[in-house]
Amino acid sequence: MESENHLTTFETTREICEIQNFSRMLQETPSNLMTPRIFAQRIAEQVRTWGLEEKVEVFERGVDWIKEQKMGSFLGVAMGCIEENPPVFLEVHMNRKRIDQKPDLSFVGKGITFDAGGISIKLDQTGMMGMKSDMGGAAVTMATVLGAAWLNLTEKYICCLTPLTDNMPDGRALKLGDVLTASNGRTIEIYNTDAEGRLVMADALVYADKVLKSKMIIDVATLTGSIVISLSDSACGIVSRNSELAQKVCVSGVETGERVFELPLYGMFKERMTKSDVADLRNLSGIKGAGALTAAAFLSEFVEIDNWAHIDIAGVFINNKGGCEYMKHGSMTGKPVRTLLKFVQDYVN
CB under 8 A, 24+ apart: contacts of 267-272: 269/293, 269/294, 269/296, 269/297, 270/297, 270/300, 270/301, 272/297
Is the distance from CB of 271 to CB of 293 less than 8 angstroms? no
> Cα-atom radius of gyration of the chain, to the nearest Å?
18
Q: Where are the beta strands (DSSP E) in the chain?
A: 56-61, 88-94, 105-109, 111-115, 158-167, 179-181, 187-189, 217-221, 236-240, 260-262, 281-282, 308-312
Measure the CA dihedral 140/145/149/154, to 10°. Answer: 120
Give the residue among 85, 162, 76 at the shortest CA–CA distance from 119: 76
How does strand 105-109 pair with strand 111-115?
unpaired
Residue 130, C-beta contacts closer than 8 angstroms, at least 6 positions apart: 318, 320
Q: Which of 24, 110, 198, 248 is catalytic?
A: 198
Note if the bond before 264 is cis, omega within 30 degrees. Answer: no
Q: Which of 37, 70, 96, 122 is catalytic?
A: 122
Residue 113, C-beta contacts closer than 8 angstroms, at least 6 positions apart: 31, 34, 35, 36, 39, 132, 134, 135, 164, 165, 166
- Helix axes of 136-150 and 36-49: crossing angle, nearest 10 degrees: 10
Half-sphere exposure in the Cβ direction for 146 (13 Å, CA): 30
Is the distance from CB of 137 to CB of 222 less than 8 angstroms? yes
Q: Is 122 a catalytic residue?
A: yes
Catalytic residues: 122, 198
